Chains A and B, each alone.
Chain A
Amino acid sequence: MNRRRWLLHIILRALGHRRGRTVLLLAVLAMASSLATALGIVSTSMEKRVAEEVRKYGANLIILPESARLDVGSGGLNFGVVSEPSYLLQQQVENSLAQSGLKAERSFHLRGALQMKAADIMVEGVNFADVRRLFPWWQLKGNWPAAGETVVGNDLATRLKLKPGDTMELTGKNQTVRLRISGIVSSGGEEDGLLFLALPELQQALGLEGQISLVRLMVTAGGDSLKKNAAALQLLLPTAKVSEVRQTARTSEGLLAKVKLLMIMVTAVVLISAGSSVAGTMSTTVLERSKEIGLMKAMGGTRSEVMLIFCGEAAMLGVVGGVAGYICGTVIAQFITKTVFASSAEFIPWFVFVSLGISLFLALLGSIGPMISVFKLDPVRSLRGE
């Protein structure tokens, strides 16, 4: 039998010999690691769920050009404010976003007017792939447009009696575009009165190549708050106005942070009590076995060799407790999310390492103290049971 197999053999024998205590230690380790695992899984699942919920609200940051404003008045009379349309440079915004390191979904928009049969129609240039990702609640009758096609807002389609398959000719400052309607879109918002076409096509028609009038951002990742992200981005874009769209995201973020803090505190309390329990039991076990330690030393075992056997026992308990903790933790997490949040928890395989780490840490930490004190004794005193 090689040394490694023998070591494993005696570890299993030792644990089997103290079956009651082994089961007790395993139960404590499994309980501690399962709770940490369960709360971790619940927290991660909640975080994803909240992120998904926030995603449903669409963009949570917008970037607008700071428009040129001019107060018009004469004498003591003020006739109001005249503002000229202004634009952002698409490339500059892209560079600033890259520089900020912000993790966000983005959608660039350009709004303007094109003429159809001498009447102005409000048109918005977008990237349809971005729109579909950021505004999943938009409902479409027909198809998303390919090149040379457009989608029309529901209200505008009704007003102009337009339907999928129709073609229309729109004239801009620079050129006239001929478009085929591929679908009618309904968002329930102001978009229902607009006509949508690909951003480059509109930029060309309006003679505004490389310019945009609005950027919608959906910040989904990153620990920083939305407000902080907006402020950071504002510094990089001094000619633009970066604003938060909704408070929902911030509220969810705050709530989630509080729930996470609560979970961390509960886990810490459980780990401290489990750690004390393991340390107490391990301490008793090691002290009871001082004669065995003395005997092993008398047979010629060095401190490290004998310690390896005892640490091996603790590690074995840690591994089994950790695996059991992961399995139980996953089940508990499912139970919590189903009963409290009415949804199912994620299956997160890498949490097995978290569970193992906690269980091993508790098992080794609990036994290392008493081991050091017993291992300091010479074999004669250990054999006398001192």
Chain B
Amino acid sequence: MSENIIETNGLTRNYGDICALKPLDLQVPEGEWLSVMGHSGSGKSTLMNLVGGLDRPSAGSLRVGGKDLLALTEDGLARFRRESVGIIFQQHHMVPYLTAVENVMMAQYFHSVPDEAEARSALERVGLGHRLKNRPGELSGGEQQRVCIARAIINSPKLLLGDEPTGNLDHKSTIMVMELLKELRAEERFTVIMVTHNQEVAAWGDRTIYLDDGVLVREERTAG
């Protein structure tokens, strides 16, 4: 039985009068691929932001990789993100004036030292060895998302977070990205939290939890 990388107890997030996430108890074992499903406004992105140290909870406890995120300062959270977390967004969010390889090097810069050879090799791993010098505007949506995957894994994170990473992709690109993630996870052994509203994408995980109006309403293990 592996240890839990994520442990929440009564985790809550309010935005003024609105409760985006109602007290949640959740454990995620190391190496698990957890899919988080729910409708828009169900609290799934809120959960991902809290787990990734991008946002702070209003109440409850939250431990990720043995660290109590509530005890960390602003800079402490930034260090936690660069050392332990890789994030893939639905909107890609790439630096527009940097090439594919430079976008990957940017993550290295905040982690330690930019290494072009390593960044190239990460892009080659995601099948973009021929698009190293292209800027985001010159890449397709699927290609941009693969750059983001390379950027997310370049610092060997313990936790990979995906906020609807295939939300803007067509079916073919979605399959390609999911297969790539599966392959990388098998090699790197990181834990995946994947937020999605696509049942087919959720099925790639080991377990799926369902949120509705900020409440965990159901969870199920994926068959096979």
Contacts and interface: CB of A to CB of B under 8 A. Distances in A.
A13 B105 CA distance: 14
B111 interface: yes
Interface stretch (A79-87, A288-296, A322-330): A288-296
Contact of B114 (A1, A292, A378, A380): A1
A303 interface: yes
Interface stretch (A2-10, A47-55, A90-98, A176-184): A2-10
A299 B109 CA distance: 10
A10 B93 contact: no
Contacts of A379: 54
A301 B110 contact: yes
Interface in B85-136: 85, 87, 89, 91, 93-98, 102, 105-107, 109-111, 113-116
A10 B98 contact: yes
A348 interface: no
Nearest to B97: A17
Nearest to B76: A302
B110 A296 contact: yes
Interface in A1-48: 1-3, 6-7, 10, 13-14, 16-17
Contacts of A2: 113
A6 B109 contact: yes
A305 B110 contact: yes
Range class of the A interface residue count: 20 to 34
B54 A300 contact: no
A291 B91 CA distance: 11
Contacts of A13: 97-98, 102
B49 interface: yes
B55 A378 contact: yes
A298 interface: yes
Given A3-B114, A13-B97, A300-B81, A383 B89 contact: yes
B97 A380 contact: no
Given A297-B78, A302-B75, A380-B55, A292 B95 contact: yes
A298 B87 contact: yes
Nearest to A294: B93
Contact of A16 (B89, B97, B107): B97
Contacts of A296: 106, 110
Q: Which of A2, A10, A291, A298 has the most CB of B within 10 A?
A: A298
B79 interface: yes
Given A379-B54, A380-B49, A299 B110 contact: yes
B97 A298 contact: no
A265 B67 CA distance: 58
B213 interface: no
Contacts of A14: 97
Interface in B52-68: 52, 54-56
A299 B97 contact: no
Interface in B15-71: 49, 52, 54-56
B206 interface: no
Nearest to B73: A302
A50 B109 CA distance: 57
B146 interface: no
Given A292-B95, A296-B106, A6 B81 contact: no
B74 interface: yes
Nearest to B112: A3
Contacts of A297: 78
B105 A383 contact: no
B78 to A, nearest CB: 4
B15 to A, nearest CB: 11
A305 B74 CA distance: 13
B82 interface: yes
Nearest to B154: A299
A300 B79 contact: yes
B212 interface: no
Contact of B110 (A1, A300, A380, A383): A300
Contacts of B93: 291, 294-295, 298, 383
16 contacts: A6-B109, A7-B109, A10-B95, A10-B102, A294-B93, A295-B94, A299-B151, A300-B83, A300-B110, A300-B111, A301-B78, A301-B110, A302-B74, A378-B54, A380-B49, A383-B89
Q: Which 8 A-B pairs have the closest CB atoms?
A: A300-B82, A17-B97, A300-B81, A302-B78, A300-B110, A301-B110, A302-B75, A6-B114
Given A10-B95, A378-B55, 14 more contacts: A1-B115, A3-B114, A7-B109, A10-B98, A13-B97, A13-B98, A16-B97, A298-B87, A300-B79, A300-B80, A300-B110, A303-B75, A305-B78, A380-B54
